[in-house]
Amino acid sequence: MIVAMLHDATEEEIQHVLARMVEIGFNVHRTTGTQQTVLAGVGQPASFDVQDFQVMAGVAEAHRITSPYKLAGRGFRPSGTVIRFPNGVTVGGDEVMVMAGPCSVESREQMFAIARQVGGAGAKFLRGGAFKPRSSPYSFQGMGLDGLRLLREVGDATGLLIVSEVMEISQIELMLPYVDCLQVGARNMQNFNLLRELGLIRKPILLKRGIAATIEELLLSAEYILSGGNYDVMLCERGIRTFETYTRNTMDISAVPVLKHLSHLPVLGDPSHGTGRRDMVAAMARASVAAGCDGLLIEVHPNPDKAVSDGAQSLFPQQFEKLMDELRIIATAVGRNIGPRAREAALHAKV
């Protein structure tokens, strides 16, 4: 059940409703948006009459949640979730946030070079996998802890925020000091034990859509994280497997407006994995912004031909810079914005 309080409801009224919800067996999640406080009751309560809540003092409306995802649904936060990161960076506000960098962390030279380039072009987050989920056990599996240390060092030197993939529960504690956001990859979208543990931490999660996952399944996976009390989740469309083989995956651009409609969580587009082809990345990035995404995750490498993973879909830095200029125009056309180039700031970074 969702109980939306009146904007001028007193704390006493809120507590009264909350206590009654707990009494009948709900596990209550409280969120205070810009307009009002919303109480979401989840779990299996004893039978109750929603009308009893509708008439309580301070209540604007109360209704049963019919969708299977209770906390990820838009009703929990009708005005949308804005996730706050260090350095005043937010995701879910007016600015479309761009996260860019190589698929894998490979070396110090590579990471400093790419951080300067993507940061200079206006990206606010540096991406890079230290633990890599590879289809083959013989492929490069990532630099591990050394990669995390490097990411933090580069992030601190450039002011870029760090996003990197967590593959299993045992890596969570290890990663927390080094990253600003933990990415859950497509292959782990339904690793429910991992999702539950991520619900217990207080660091934002970037949750990718599974390779063959429906939108409802993606939202239910987000629900696992939210139900633990971590409400800072970003959803990411990264392409799904269809009968089409020309592109690596089929990027479902319609997932962007659908997710924005169904959920309050910020939505990102990943045109790199969405297409698997460098020559298609810019078009899908532009389309994602036009469709209303809150951010993008883009693979960029200083020397894509030498990349240890996903080189074919990684942009050259100059292509990324040009794309950012195009995205600024599109963002403005749809009432959003993308931060300016930041050459000076990024150039301060020393190897």
- Nearest residue to 236 via CA among 192, 193, 270, 283: 270
155 binds, among Mn ion, ligand PEP, none (CB under 5 to 8 A by kind): none
133 binds, among Mn ion, ligand PEP, none (CB under 5 to 8 A by kind): ligand PEP
103 near Mn ion, judged by CB under 5 A: yes
Q: Report residue 196 as tokens.
A: 């539950």
Question: CB of 188: closest distance to ligand PEP in angstroms?
Answer: 8
144 binds, among Mn ion, ligand PEP, none (CB under 5 to 8 A by kind): none
- Segment interacting with Mn ion, rule: CB under 5 A, options 95-103, 107-115, 176-184, 244-252: 95-103
Q: Which is nearer to ligand PEP, 128 or 159 (CB)?
A: 128
252 near Mn ion, judged by CB under 5 A: no
Question: Judged by CB under 5 A, how many residues of this single chain contact Mn ion?
Answer: 2
3-class SS at 277? Answer: coil
Which residues have a Cβ under 8 Å from the Cβ of 52 and sit 6 or more positions away? 20
Cα separation, 49 vs 47, in Å, equals 7
Cα separation, 330 vs 133, in Å, equals 33
Q: Report residue 324 as tokens.
A: 């950012």
Cα separation, 26 vs 235, in Å, equals 26
165 near Mn ion, judged by CB under 5 A: no
Question: CB of 186: closest distance to ligand PEP in angstroms?
Answer: 4
Q: Which is nearer to ligand PEP, 37 or 275 (CB)?
A: 275
Q: Phi and psi dihedrals of 114, rounded to 5?
A: -70, -35
Question: CB of 127: closest distance to ligand PEP in angstroms?
Answer: 7
DSSP annotation of 315 reads B
- Segment interacting with Mn ion, rule: CB under 5 A, options 19-27, 67-75, 100-108, 232-240: 100-108
Question: CB of 85: closest distance to ligand PEP in angstroms?
Answer: 19
Cα separation, 290 vs 140, in Å, equals 35
Question: CB of 36: closest distance to ligand PEP in angstroms?
Answer: 36
When CB distances to ligand PEP are compared, the closest residue is 185
Q: What is the DSSP string of 129-169?
A: BSS---SSTTS----THHHHHHHHHHHHHHT-EEEEE--SH
Question: CB of 234: closest distance to Mn ion in angstroms?
Answer: 17
203 binds, among ligand PEP, Mn ion, none (CB under 5 to 8 A by kind): none
310 near Mn ion, judged by CB under 5 A: yes
Which residues have a Cβ under 8 Å from the Cβ of 119 and sit 6 or more positions away? 126, 158, 159, 160, 342, 345, 346, 349
106 near Mn ion, judged by CB under 5 A: no
Which residues contact ligand PEP (rule: CB under 6 A)?
Answer: 103, 129, 133, 185-187, 208, 238, 273
Cα–Cα–Cα angle for 152, 137, 189, nearest 5°?
A: 65
Question: CB of 1: closest distance to ligand PEP in angstroms?
Answer: 35
Query: Using CB under 5 A as the criterion, which residues of the chain lie in contact with Mn ion when the complex forms?
Result: 103, 310
